[in-house]
Structure 1
Amino acid sequence: MSDRDAMTVWELLREYAATQSGSFTSQEALSWFRRHAPDKANERNIRTHIRGASWNVGNRPQFSTKEPFLTKLDRGLFWRARLDEIEGWRADVPTPTVEPMPAAPAEGHLVSEWHTEDNTQRLLVEWLAGEGWTIARTANTATREHGVDVVAEREGQRLGVEVKGYPSRFYVTGRKKGQVKTSTPKEQAKKWYAHALVPAIRLRTHEPDSVSVMCFPDSRVYRPLYADTALSLRAAGIDVWLVSQDGAVEILGQSSLPGERLDARVQFGL
């Protein structure tokens, strides 16, 4: 018997939710159950549990003794509840009524996504400063300013970073702000990865002595994309860094730190 065989649907749902950095649909949760716990993949039961795990759903008597861990955003759309929402539930704050089909999720949900480009850049800059780098430039992400997103210098080395976030499920600007996108974040993230590559190559061309970096928030999408392109990126002298929600930075593959990079022509025998 596997560990999951002994787990309840509630426990399994909590395990699934813990892996989600953004919003998800009840259908996506059901698909996870079918792959990881097929004997418990009863659609009606799982949907009932998802509803019961949401703090802002008014009628959850079956789960009244359990602490919720999800937030309902829209019909069939949820994400992991924020700490302040759970604390509010604990304090017995009156549960707000969720309209059947709201035109948009609450504004707070949009700004609370940690993996936006703006927040990823901020976390990166804070980490660089803590590592002794002098920040020479940061691009204005709000105005989509052109040029290298982050330029930093340390010990005679110059670093240029192209920063991308992880797509939101919702439009965050423009007339459609707050509406659910038709494209999935996963597919859009693949395009953003490709979009980061051209500026990184341009930097290697125009500033061959600078370290060229593509930086993304840590996600299950960007890691396999890096794995698929790692050999070519190393040959081109381009690094990929991942920023976690707590501000830690992981340098994938070959390090870009001073004295640790080999000339790509020597390393690959070119």
Structure 2
Amino acid sequence: MSTTTTEESLGTRIEQALRHRFSERSAAAERYGSEFVGLWQAAEEHALGGKLIRPRLLLDLARALAPAPLTADEMRSAIDVAAHVELLHFAFLLHDDVIDGDLMRRRRPNLIGALVAGRPAGPTEPALHWARSSAILLGDLLLSSAVLGFARAGVTDEARERLLGLLEETIFETVAGEHADVALSDGIITPDLRTILHERVQDLDVLLRAPAAGGRGARRLVDRGRRSPRRDRPAPRPRLSAAGRSALRVRRPR
């Protein structure tokens, strides 16, 4: 099987895991009314269809750090954790759009914009308040879902503790960065070059932190006590997927 085919297959499996999660939540929402079901259905539409860079990075790390090729069970566990990394990312995007007051993302209506457009009266103030409130509440639910997904991962207790610790640190640093970003935008913090550069470095760190939360525990993903590779055997060179290479590519100055 070629590298490209393998990457396409993994992307499909990540999307399937995400669709399954949204389908479960949509079914559970039925007892709370059609509006709540519609919110989950709209969320699924907006959460899927992207490049899945973060979950692909996690799988790259899991395969690169594992002492041997991942078994089918280990890959299923890695894909499940990767899907929850994407849910975490989408939760951050929802809150970010509320904070920025945005109705568009990548030249099309974001979840808030789509919810507003679906109201008969259009973008009235009550419709905007309802749509933004929906995004906040859904983001909260997805954050809790991501935490539960990490907590239920098929790993050893030690690996679970490390995963949850890294997840907590990632969420904390993301909120701190967003808080500082808003302060810069509103003039609460003086926008000097040193501060701005620090914020950009923090953004890159958080981009890599969530996938690393899964990758650092890759050796214990469904750990069965396998031995590390022999020291006299050269370690395989880690291979990033196309998505991983794109995320980490730095253009050299001409």
Q: Under TM normalisation by the shorter chain, which class is it?
A: under 0.3
Q: Could you say which structure has the greater relative contact order, defined with CA pairs below 8 angstroms and 6 or more residues apart?
A: 2
Greater percentage in strand: 1
Greater percentage in helix: 2
**Highest CA radius of gyration, 1 or 2?**
1
Q: TM-score, normalised by structure 1?
A: 0.25
Q: TM-score, normalised by structure 2?
A: 0.26
